[in-house]
């Protein structure tokens, strides 16, 4: 999920996340998993606020990248 910098902090990410969670529940899924870059603290905070928890080790985003991602999971 990506939100344009022009509208960050205006609830767009929360609205998207609420709709994704509702869709997943209506689809009888048992969890949602994602990976968030470890330096994106606002996104990490948002996901944690919705109940996502870190799982698994931090991994490189891509072979040539200096960024790392933390897998996260929400049990539905």
What pLDDT sits at residue 1?
85
Which residues contact residue 41 at a Cβ distance below 8 angstroms, ignoring those fewer than 6 apart?
Answer: none
What pLDDT sits at residue 24?
98
Question: Does the structure show a pLDDT above 90 at 2?
Answer: no
pTM of the model: 0.90
Compute the distance between CA of residue 30 and CA of residue 40 in angstroms, rounded to an integer. 26
Q: Which domains does the chain have, with CATH numbers?
A: 29-76 (3.30.1490)
8 Å CB contact between 73 and 55: yes
What token pair was written down for 1? 């999920």
Element (H, E) at 36: strand 31-37
8 Å CB contact between 70 and 38: yes
């Amino acid at each position: 999920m990506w939100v344009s910098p022009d509208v960050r902090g205006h609830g767009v990410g929360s609205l998207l996340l609420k709709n994704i969670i509702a869709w997943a529940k209506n689809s009888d899924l048992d969890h949602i998993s994602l990976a968030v870059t470890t330096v994106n603290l606002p996104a990490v905070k948002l996901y944690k606020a919705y109940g996502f928890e870190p799982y698994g080790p931090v991994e490189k985003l891509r072979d040539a990248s200096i960024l790392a991602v933390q897998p996260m999971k929400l049990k539905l």
